[in-house]
Structures are given as structure tokens and as C-alpha cells.
């Protein structure tokens, strides 16, 4: 049975869209950008903010709204129709201090299929001094398991390709994918 490795934010849920609409635009009413204008991830330069301000905003949003995120409907439908044909694991870049919120969300919405939750920490000042892996590629190289990587980040996608995984790019403004989520799946 093949194993699919799923990113969480912006793959299983619409984290960046929700954060932008419900947090950034509310706190920054002068911002005239649209979600489709976020052509980089992280988009702090496009937003005219520091990386630290951007990350703090994401973290505040995850703390406040993380448990209420909805799954991407097309992804949930795919799991309901095809999930039992594969093994699944989550591999996400989330701050260590907030990983419990993400893990609980994954298991609540996708726990019928995803049985393993793994993180490559998104760096924060409060992190431990050591780091096992600095990228998803390094984690997957260590793991030496998995057949398909589903992600929205082209750096992660390229890392998966280098390791011999089949890859699926979930379309988001920052990766220039021209297909729909349904087509990607």
C-alpha cells in the first residue's frame, strides 16, 4: 500500500486565506492586497511587514482560530472516496509551541486516514537550541518512507522530487499552479 505524505496548512485547510481575510486585513484595513496577490510564501515583503510581525500574526491567528478551521472540501471528499486505498501521514511546518493545535485539528478531521503527525518546526525564538531537521526534505530523507508528497510549497516539492517521491502541487497563488485542487488530486 502506497503512503501519501500530506502538508497541513494550505493543503488540508485554507490557513493562509483564512488568516489573510480574518486577521491581516482586519488588523491592517489600509492593506489593498487580495489573497491572489500573495505570490510569495512567506509574504511578509509583499505585505510590507517584518518576518517576525508576520509570524506573530500567524501564531496569534492559529491560537485563536486554529481549532475552528474547516478542511478544504475537495480534499475531504478525496479522502472519503479514496483514503482507504493508501496509508497517510501529515508532515507540516508549524511552530513547536503550536503543534498541538495543528495535530488535534488533523486527527479530528482526517484521523480516519492520517495516523501519523510530524513536524519540521517553523522557527521561533522560543524553540529549543537543537533541530533534528531543517527542511521537509531532510525529514523525509531520514524517514526513508513514503511514495507521494502533497504540498503547496515548491521548495518542499523539489525536495520530494530529489528523493524520488511522486509529487502533487496543491495550487496556491505563491506556486503559480494553473490547475484546480480537484485536478491536482
* pLDDT tens digits in sequence order for the chain, 185 residues long: 999 999 999 999 999 999 999 999 999 999 999 999 999 999 999 999 999 999 999 999 999 999 999 999 999 999 999 999 999 999 999 999 999 999 999 999 999 999 999 999 887 887 777 788 889 999 999 999 999 999 999 999 999 999 999 999 999 999 989 899 999 99
CA 137 to chain centre: 15
The CATH homologous superfamily for domain 3-14+71-184 is HAD superfamily/HAD-like (3.40.50.1000)
Other C-beta atoms within 10 Å of 167: how many? 17
User: Rounded distance, CA 114 to CA 93, Å?
Assistant: 16
Is residue 167 helix, strand or coil? strand
Backbone angles phi, psi at 4, to 5 degrees: -105, 130
pLDDT at 158: 98
pLDDT at 128: 73
pTM to 2 decimal places? 0.95
User: Rounded distance, CA 24 to CA 147, Å?
Assistant: 36
Residue boundaries of the structural domains of the chain: 3-14+71-184, 15-68
* Residue reference for cell 521561533: 124
* Helix or strand (DSSP H, E) at 66: none
Other C-beta atoms within 10 Å of 120: how many? 20
Amino acid at each position: 500500500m502506497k503512503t501519501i505524505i500530506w502538508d497541513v496548512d494550505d493543503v488540508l485547510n485554507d490557513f493562509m486565506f483564512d488568516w489573510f481575510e480574518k486577521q491581516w486585513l482586519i488588523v491592517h484595513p489600509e492593506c489593498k492586497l487580495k489573497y491572489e496577490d500573495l505570490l510569495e510564501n512567506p509574504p511578509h515583503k509583499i505585505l510590507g511587514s517584518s518576518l517576525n510581525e508576520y509570524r506573530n500574526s500567524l501564531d496569534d491567528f492559529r491560537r485563536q482560530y486554529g481549532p475552528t478551521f474547516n478542511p478544504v472540501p475537495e480534499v475531504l471528499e478525496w479522502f472519503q472516496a479514496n483514503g482507504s486505498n493508501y496509508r497517510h501521514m501529515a508532515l507540516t511546518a508549524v511552530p513547536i509551541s503550536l503543534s498541538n493545535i495543528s495535530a488535534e485539528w488533523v486527527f479530528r478531521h482526517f484521523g480516519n486516514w492520517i495516523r501519523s503527525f510530524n513536524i519540521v518546526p517553523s522557527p521561533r525564538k522560543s524553540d529549543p537550541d537543537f533541530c533534528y531537521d531543517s527542511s521537509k526534505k531532510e525529514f523525509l530523507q531520514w524517514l526513508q518512507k513514503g511514495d507521494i508528497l502533497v504540498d503547496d510549497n515548491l521548495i518542499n516539492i523539489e525536495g520530494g522530487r530529489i528523493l524520488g517521491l511522486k509529487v502533487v502541487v496543491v495550487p496556491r497563488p505563491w506556486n503559480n499552479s494553473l490547475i484546480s485542487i480537484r485536478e491536482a488530486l
